[in-house]
Amino acid sequence: MFSASKLKHYRLANNLSQTAIANKLDVTRATLSAWETGKTVPNKKHLKELAQLLHIKTEDLQKEHPHLALYKQLNKTNKKKVDELTHNLLMEQKVVPLFSVQVLDNIALSAGHGNGFWDEYETKEVFTDREYLYDVATWIEGQSMEPVYQDGEVALIREGGFDYDGAVYVISWNDQLYIKKVYIEENGYRLVSINKKYEDLFAPAEEEPRIVGKIIGNFMPVET
């Protein structure tokens, strides 16, 4: 998970002001300040640019779990005790491996009428019992893509352009994001819902709709 304090630490270590970095990344100083106070989180593009600018790896801007920080403070003998206790506890229970997914938490893909899309975002950690390869994860809201895509599920997106008719894509149109089956027509995209109660939408080419990526998976988070 992104660490606001580490960003500030590395910025000061490089003798850079918030304004200097903001200008390099083409964002406002207020945006950088929000990153450093933990109010918002830089997206993947900005995270990579920050690492390059600060001469570090993107992993250096991630915070470690507080339990791990405490574990590192133990001496060798006590670390061994913790390791043995953890092993014994795992052997006593049926262990179902869970995988962490960071979900964009202030936007949602609309399976109804569309939601706003912001470049900066906060994330929420959820868990799934499967491991996925994806680029971005976010929430699904609405019923237009039921029964395949349920309201409250997490949608997993592989970024890219149009592949073929009838695939389920994330499409950006009029400053909103939609999850729909997409078909190319002469003058734009036809957006089709799986739920037949919803009418098709048409995104004219003149309004510059853009395919953000393809939905490659979805799941209901596992309660922990």
SS (H, E, C) 46-106: HHHHHHHHHCCCHHHHECCCHHHHHHHCCCHHHHHHHHHHHHHHHHHCCCCCCEEEEEEEE
DSSP SS3 for 142 = coil
Cα separation, 60 vs 51, in Å, equals 8
pLDDT of residue 109: 55
145 compared with 64, residue with greater pLDDT: 145
Element (H, E) at 41: none
Cα separation, 132 vs 130, in Å, equals 6
pTM (2 d.p.): 0.59
Element (H, E) at 121: none
Cα separation, 50 vs 58, in Å, equals 8
Q: Where residue 120 falls among pLDDT bands split at 50, 70, 90?
A: low
Element (H, E) at 44: helix 44-54
- The mean-pLDDT minimum among 29-43, 108-122, 186-200 falls in 108-122
Q: Which residue has the tokens 């993107």?
A: 58
- Rounded to an integer, the average pLDDT of 117-125 is 63
Element (H, E) at 179: strand 176-185
Position 223: which residue type?
A: E
Phi and psi angles of residue 86, each rounded to the nearest 5 degrees, phi first: -60, -45
Domains of the chain: 4-61 (1.10.260.40), 99-219 (2.10.109.10)
- Residue 142 φ/ψ region, left for φ over 0, alpha for ψ in the -120 to 50 degree band, beta for the rest: left
Give the tens place of pLDDT for each residue, 179-188. 999 999 999 9
Q: Which residue has the tokens 């799941």?
A: 219
For residue 221, what is the DSSP state?
Answer: P
Q: Would you say residue 116 has pLDDT above 60?
A: no
How wide is the angle at C-alpha 155 spanned by C-alphas 222 and 128, nearest 5°? Answer: 20
169 compared with 91, residue with greater pLDDT: 169
Q: Is 195 exposed, middle or buried (0-12, 13-18, 19+ CB in 10 A)?
A: middle
